[in-house]
Chain A
């Protein structure tokens, strides 16, 4: 506790008392190997299966580049290590560190706003040259729901109206900052991760209804505040054929890739759309189109089924958590994971606009994998640090 520099602040005082049940007086049964490692073997196996399948697809999507696959495997190595390390901390630690992580994240977002690097038309990166390049918005994907869960875990659920006002503040601050970068995709994901916490916490249906109405009314406002390229994406989504060589190209080519795969697919390395470079970004955001083209409906359904099983296991673990904070965090992590899958597959198959969300644990790239597996680390920590009652 002494290590926490915020320990004496009023904010920290609010969180000092962690509502746990007292330890059992012995008689707990012998812990298994997995319990000692604080890892869930089922979830781990499913994740490894997913990552393995992803590497196979990546090998084809990258034009059979062994280097790309090796680099990605190494990243996963790091990401799984991060997961394993995070799983060793107790949920209490996350509870205590949530405000610090959140506060630091917001501070960095402000720093990015002031001095950030401009890449791909948006300010996203904070860089200490030669040492580290860091995307604070990525961290907020975990820190924001943690903060909301910690707050609601402290106040108890279902949340009262004034608690919701605080939640809105906690969520709104980073979301607005990220949207200003501008990175609409990430800000929506951060917002939804945090909103899921509030929804799981039992937000009343009347408030949900009001919120939906408000959101609908706010849509035109949002449209006015969108950047030109973001509006273009939405317009293109509504009618891809309007700009077949420009922005519509991606959607036309990805749906063509998936559709031409048929039921059984064209075979590994046989997808002409991806191998002949018609498909844009075949190893990052649009990698699922490669799977769809080469492995067909069978491959796609198998992948979706695997994701579904992972989500079910995650929800099961969440439901088994022993306190509200743990349950809310675990539920938010696993459902956000699903939102990634839905948004990515929806966008590549043409039922959602292109928003630049990678396919979890399949798309090439390090940052998102680390964030996702860090989330699974927290999930496993919540599961593995239950105090078990004797049978």
Chain B
């Protein structure tokens, strides 16, 4: 059958319609392809740099490598601060198949109470990004680590992560001197060199840890790593190793420090011992102490408040911040002041009727012995701790000269090189009184300062430093806690050392020394009981500081009140007198008289250093020195 004409005609028309439409479609196809190509040119040519950078920053991550903090040793190499590895339990949720079962398994493995499942669940949600490990538990025990290791294959996504944490093996006795590190807080973060501290979470907060922060910390390194989208490190592209912190060797002697704590027992007080020739602080105790390790991991609020509200102020470093009236321990320094200013000679005697009176004043300033010591020269004034002699001397000096000369021994100023948070104490002057009270200075107040009462306030460290300077016959060596920073010894002469104290007649020193020796070994010596059986020449001076008032906010029962109103017992000493190896200052709060309650402690300290630790100079040189000083006696 031949095709019908209209069918053919229709077919031709239909072909024409289709071909026209197909041609249009092709135009659209080409146009859209051109559009895609244009977009690709835009992405790959025009914006190539931008996307290139973005792709690089996707893949390359800079990771900080925190340095290892320097260790701290005592003078004999006993470790005082170390970095102990602790183990934390972490979990990556994306790698865990069944979270609930994994957590239950962990609780039973670690032998934790069932309630911990909830706490675990809460912590497993604490993270910022996918694939970031969440911290479930810190400081795992060895047994727990072992059990986790055995069951590791059953716990995908669970990791035990090691971290270094500061640890103080001798925390109880060293807490005040060493200080501690703690987590960097927001304020500290603002002032830190971010590059140096990248990846570091801890910083020295107090004490040595704070003062030598820079040396102990070191310098952070970094590594450039290639990571995949899940943050897994695939390869290391570059590395700059961290500079570890430098180790620190301290001047402290752990044995002596321990002894100081034992001597103070459960009393409040402080003992500071210094090697006069080197200025090295051998012991610096403040009781009661505290466990500084609790501050490293972050102490809980309750425990911290308990420490802060403790009436015995365990967090308070009495050795460097405790303000005490010096009591009679000031007398050797006042004597030196009189000699320097030329208002007295060693030989000059006064007659003590039991009191001192200012001209045109009826008030009597009493000696502690009501009937008086009679004829008193400088040596005897120290041995019997005569007050009248020093009232008179202080009056002759006047407050201006007295202040200047006591200042020369470091009172009223920060004396140590590297003791963080040291208080300058208070050395009163006319200017100070006018500023503080807007009053002029009264002559009677000079007399109080002359026997270590009144406005005068010193710290145990200042008292020990002044004693060491006295033992050095006026040669100043700045007290210090650090012996070596890394391998570098701290120089004997440090910047800002006060000027040496010189006497026109150096024999004056011997007079003071002899008087102080008689405190312990003289017939009339105030601490002659503590000086019994001495194997070396020991010079000392007792002191008793009156506690005048009580803070009205404090509340305790009657017995406690009475106890807290008792006098502070003080004692300073150095030995051997002819070649001093140790200078000690002892302060026991509310213990009573210094001659009986503080001097035995000082004796124990010098005994331990000289006899037990063998720092007594050999006899030849010692006898020579003793011969020369013996002439004076």
Q: Which residues of A contact B (CB under 8 A)?
A: 19, 21-22, 156-158, 196, 199-202, 253, 255-263, 272-273, 276-278, 292-293, 296-297, 300-301, 304, 307-308, 311-312, 315, 318-319, 323-324, 327-328, 331, 335, 338, 342, 345-346, 349-351
Contact = CB atoms under 8 A, between A and B. Distances in A.
B55 to A, nearest CB: 4
A390 B513 CA distance: 140
Contacts of A312: 26
A198 B37 CA distance: 29
A201 B14 CA distance: 8
B150 interface: no
Interface in B76-105: none
Contacts of A273: 55, 58-59
Interface stretch (B16-24, B432-440, B540-548): B16-24
A346 B36 contact: yes
Contacts of B151: none
Interface size class of B (residues with CB under 8 A): 35 or more
A276 B234 contact: yes
Interface string B1-43: 1110001001100110111111001100110110111011101
Contacts of A308: 29-30, 33
Given A157-B17, A263-B44, A342-B36, A256 B25 contact: no
B275 interface: no
Nearest to B24: A199
Contacts, number: 148
A272 B22 contact: no
Contacts of B26: 311-312, 315
17 contacts: A19-B7, A158-B17, A202-B20, A260-B54, A261-B44, A272-B59, A273-B58, A276-B234, A293-B55, A315-B22, A318-B18, A318-B22, A319-B22, A323-B11, A338-B32, A342-B33, A345-B36
Chain A CB count within 10 A is highest, among B1, B18, B19, B45, for B18
B311 interface: no
B50 interface: yes
Interface string B39-65: 111011101101110111011000000
Contact of A256 (B17, B21, B30, B51): B51
A266 to B, nearest CB: 9
Interface in B204-240: 226-230, 234
Nearest to B54: A256
Contact of B3 (A21, A258, A259, A261): A21
A253 B59 CA distance: 12
Contacts of A262: 44-45, 48, 52
A256 B18 contact: no
A324 B35 CA distance: 31
Contact of B59 (A261, A278, A292, A342): A278
A293 B59 CA distance: 14
Given A255-B43, A327-B14, A351-B36, 4 more contacts: A260-B48, A272-B56, A308-B33, A315-B25
A351 B39 contact: yes
Given A259-B47, A260-B48, A296-B44, A276 B227 contact: yes
Interface in B505-537: none
A263 B45 contact: yes
Given A255-B43, A292-B40, A338 B29 contact: yes
B42 to A, nearest CB: 9
Nearest to B47: A259
Contact of B44 (A19, A22, A259, A327): A259
Contact of B21 (A22, A202, A345, A346): A202
Contacts of B226: 272, 276
Contacts of B30: 308
B53 to A, nearest CB: 8
B59 A331 contact: no
A161 to B, nearest CB: 17
Given A276-B228, A342-B32, A324 B55 contact: no
A200 B44 contact: no
A300 B40 contact: yes
Contact of B43 (A259, A278, A327): A259
Contacts of B21: 199-202, 331
Given A200-B18, A202-B18, A256 B44 contact: no
Contacts of A277: 228-230
Nearest to B46: A259
A327 B18 contact: yes
A64 B3 CA distance: 60
A297 B58 contact: no
Nearest to A252: B54
Contact of B52 (A200, A259, A315): A259
Given A259-B52, A273-B58, A297 B25 contact: no
Nearest to B20: A202
Given A276-B228, A311-B29, A315-B22, A300 B55 contact: no
Contacts of B58: 253, 256, 272-273, 276, 278
B229 A276 contact: yes
A157 B14 contact: yes
A156 B14 CA distance: 8
Contacts of A278: 55, 58-59, 228-229
A200 B1 CA distance: 30
Interface in B556-579: none
Contacts of A318: 18, 22
Contact of A259 (B1, B17, B51): B51
Contacts of A349: 36, 39-40, 43
Nearest to B16: A202
Contacts of A202: 17-18, 20-21
A68 to B, nearest CB: 18
Contact of B50 (A259, A324, A345): A259
Contacts of B11: 323-324
B55 A260 contact: yes
Contacts of B230: 277
A262 B3 CA distance: 60
A17 B598 CA distance: 128
Chain A CB count within 10 A is highest, among B19, B37, B40, B45, for B40
B18 A335 contact: no
A261 to B, nearest CB: 6
